[in-house]
A and B are shown apart, each in its own frame.
Chain A
Amino acid sequence: MHAESQIREPLIIGNKTYRNITDDIIAPIEGKASRTWYILFTIASLAFMWGIGCLSYTIGVGIGAWGSNNGVDWAWDITNFVWWIGIGHAGTLISAVLLLFRQKWRMAINRSAEAMTIFAVLCAAIFVTLHTGRPWLDYMLFPLPNQFGSLWPNFNSPLLWDVFAVSTYATVSIVFWYIGLIPDFAMIRDRVVKPRMKKAYALLSFGWGGSARHWSRFEEVSLVLAGLSTPLVFSVHSIVSFDFATSVVPGWHTTIFPPYFVSGAVFSGFAMVLTLMLIVRKVYSLEAYLTVKHVEYMNIVIITTGSIVGVAYLTELFVAWYSGVEWEQYAFLNRATGPLAWSYWAMMTCNVISPQLFWFKKIRTSLVATFILSIVVNIGMWFERFVIIVPTLCRTYLPSTWNTYTPSFIDVGIFVGTIGMFFVLFLLYSRTFPVIAQAELKTILKASGEAQKKAAAEHAHH
């Protein structure tokens, strides 16, 4: 057993035993759904259905249904893609990077954060498959032998790197998540009494038994997967940023983009994890495991990444001025003072100013404040992508091509639809999957449980 300093706050509140952890994690799966769950599920499903309607309409008539136009060819769609894929980053960061750093507080949140990652990447996938215009030809993105020569995709293009990065990221995240889920599914299989549930979880648990040999391999696999996912998570958003940075569009052609995008992604991802975890904690009474301390730790990550994003914004402005390139300077002047300046200042307020409130301990340990600010941050991060894409493309080199942009009803519909889909998937997940990695949590009970820590302190005094 690993002894832990008494100064550290316990990560599991109350007098919990291994059995209590099992009971608490299995309660939402065995129990009936609450009315709140049904209300949320209905709202999310309606949004999802609206989205499916708009999506089908787009496939039927083509992307002329969108507000995008000749100059502003990337607009809502790519904004949403980058936003969703950015949100996805927190899951892998929590499960991989924090595993390598041996942060124990990750154990209560990693499962749901990874679930969130996978659902967010699915939402992002909708936008990339649609924006090609003819999604039934999307197989052409892959280097498959074809009848045109064979004519291969262009491996020099960051857009193609994106295809490889996002698909690697999605599949590796799913596998990492599932390997961690197997022991927990086995726990549910051994506990539930309803025969149909037992059968379902027996199938999902792949026959896991928890023998020492299997645990030894399990730990090695988790560690190596974490080691592989860590550079992966940084590479994915770097490559997403290359889509912009390798172009010659003023305001996009900057070397700061990869670190700026990655920290922005972690920033928005943690905000989304907080939004979801604060709901999960309340709805399923998991206050003992998702403590105020966990929220505080996540808020500290938000201050850090939020400040990096803030510094990046200022660096961009400085470099634009210092470069002496007129077009570059105008791109930023236009963002801050042009017709869409309101979106720039919305971004600045939400992303740079609001997270700084977390310097106050009162605010970063307040659940209500955290919940509100987590949503504010995600709105801000959506605007960041919007600001990068739309105002920039509205005013490029030739004033004769200058343009304005308004999203169409269909644009809004697809976006709302993906939010609906995200919540439909998350709500279904939270009722059928173990929302906390209980096997991992049991390993830290003796070192980080409140009652266990107290007992250890007593023992040390005598």
Chain B
Amino acid sequence: MATKQIIHGIFGDEEPLLDACKQLRASGIRIKEVFSPFPIHGIDPIIGVPRTRIAICAFIYGITGMALATLMMWYMMVHDWPNDIGGKPNWTYYMNVPAFIPITFESTVFCAAHGMSLTYLLRCWLVPGAKAKNPDPRTTDDKFMIYLELNDEQSKKADEILRSTGAEEVNYKGTITIEPKY
């Protein structure tokens, strides 16, 4: 069993925080999380956040939507009940496809947009009634926070770096015990 110290390094702006992140990483300290009132550009590679794959999901949902719309219109207009409407018969799909393009497009966008949005909300667990995920409420207003979970030796080092890079506060929020992984 290892006991780890929870440290909140609070900054007043993004640049000193980025500086602190770089130095922490250089001395081999793992940054558990960063909370900020707005997206900090360029932070992801510094703290080791991999690029999100949500756009790939959107593409897959879009293709699904396109396929569903095609299948639906083929089934309803060509297969199940073909009609001759205004002298424009629906005997084959390929002859009718120009008329099907608008709905195919709308369905693609519909599925891509809603599928991706739902994936985003669930992946971040943003659901009605979820508990606020920021440990310090000021981080949605004007404060920026580095959240660390470190052992005693690393804590000392991190404390030094945080203070030297201009942290306004370094708060110790107790300890957590982490079960060793076998």
List residues of chain A with CB under 8 Å of any chain B CB. 1-2, 17-19, 22, 143, 149-156, 158, 160-161, 164-165, 168, 171-172, 175-176, 179, 182-183, 186-187, 189-191, 202-221, 223-225, 228-229, 231-232, 235, 239, 242, 439-440, 442-443
What residues on B are CB-neighbors of A211 within 8 Å? Answer: 33-35, 133-134
Chain B residue, CB-CB nearest to A178: B117
- On whether the beta carbons of A202 and B81 are closer than 8 Å, the reply is no
What residues on A are CB-neighbors of B77 within 8 Å? Answer: 152, 154-156
Q: Which of B1-29 contact A (CB under 8 A)?
A: 14-15
Secondary structure call for the A interface: helix
A444 to B76, CA, bound (A): 51
- Pairs A-B, 9 closest by C-beta atoms: A209-B133, A207-B130, A18-B142, A190-B137, A209-B134, A206-B126, A152-B76, A215-B39, A161-B102
A182 to B51, CA, bound (A): 21
What residues on A are CB-neighbors of B83 within 8 Å? Answer: 154
Q: How far apart are B66's CB and chain A's nearest CB, in angstroms?
A: 13
B140 is contacted by which of A186, A225, A242 (Cβ under 8 Å)?
Answer: A186
Q: How far apart are B98's CB and chain A's nearest CB, in angstroms?
A: 9
30 A-B residue pairs with CB within 8 Å: A1-B15, A18-B141, A155-B76, A156-B77, A156-B99, A161-B102, A161-B103, A171-B110, A176-B113, A190-B132, A190-B138, A191-B137, A206-B126, A207-B125, A207-B126, A209-B35, A209-B139, A212-B35, A212-B40, A212-B49, A214-B126, A215-B39, A215-B40, A218-B120, A220-B52, A223-B55, A228-B62, A231-B109, A235-B102, A442-B38
A to B contact number (C-beta, < 8 Å):
201
- On whether the beta carbons of B40 and A231 are closer than 8 Å, the reply is no
Q: Is B85 an interface residue (CB 8 A)?
A: yes
List residues of chain B with CB under 8 Å of any chain A CB. 14-15, 33-41, 43-44, 47, 49, 51-52, 54-55, 58, 62, 72-73, 76-77, 80-81, 83, 85, 88, 90, 96, 99-100, 102-103, 105-107, 109-110, 112-114, 116-117, 120-121, 123-134, 137-142
User: Other than the known A164-B103, A217-B54, what 18 A-B pairs have Cβ atoms closer than 8 Å?
Assistant: A18-B141, A143-B72, A143-B76, A152-B76, A168-B109, A204-B128, A207-B127, A212-B34, A212-B36, A212-B40, A215-B40, A217-B120, A220-B54, A224-B54, A224-B112, A224-B116, A229-B109, A439-B39
Given A175-B113, A217-B120, A189 and B132 contact (CB-CB distance below 8 Å): yes
A212 to B129, CA, bound (A): 21
Chain B residue, CB-CB nearest to A207: B130
A239 to B103, CA, bound (A): 10
A239 to B133, CA, bound (A): 43
- On whether the beta carbons of A212 and B37 are closer than 8 Å, the reply is no
- On whether the beta carbons of B116 and A225 are closer than 8 Å, the reply is yes
A153 to B80, CA, bound (A): 12
A158 to B98, CA, bound (A): 12
B133 is contacted by which of A18, A153, A208 (Cβ under 8 Å)?
Answer: A208
What residues on A are CB-neighbors of B109 within 8 Å? Answer: 168, 172, 228-229, 231-232
Which of B15, B113, B138, B142 counts the most chain A CB atoms within 10 A? B113
- On whether the beta carbons of A224 and B114 are closer than 8 Å, the reply is no
A221 to B113, CA, bound (A): 9
Q: How far apart are A417's CB and chain B's nearest CB, in angstroms?
A: 29
Chain A residue, CB-CB nearest to B55: A224
- On whether the beta carbons of B117 and A221 are closer than 8 Å, the reply is yes
A235 is contacted by which of B38, B100, B106 (Cβ under 8 Å)?
Answer: B106
What residues on A are CB-neighbors of B110 within 8 Å? Answer: 164, 168, 171-172
Chain A residue, CB-CB nearest to B57: A224
- On whether the beta carbons of B106 and A208 are closer than 8 Å, the reply is no
Given A19-B142, A208-B132, A156 and B102 contact (CB-CB distance below 8 Å): no
Chain B residue, CB-CB nearest to A206: B126
- On whether the beta carbons of B112 and A207 are closer than 8 Å, the reply is no
A440 is contacted by which of B38, B90, B107, B141 (Cβ under 8 Å)?
Answer: B38
A217 is contacted by which of B81, B100, B124 (Cβ under 8 Å)?
Answer: B124
- On whether the beta carbons of A228 and B112 are closer than 8 Å, the reply is yes
A165 to B110, CA, bound (A): 9
Q: How far apart are A39's CB and chain B's nearest CB, in angstroms?
A: 33
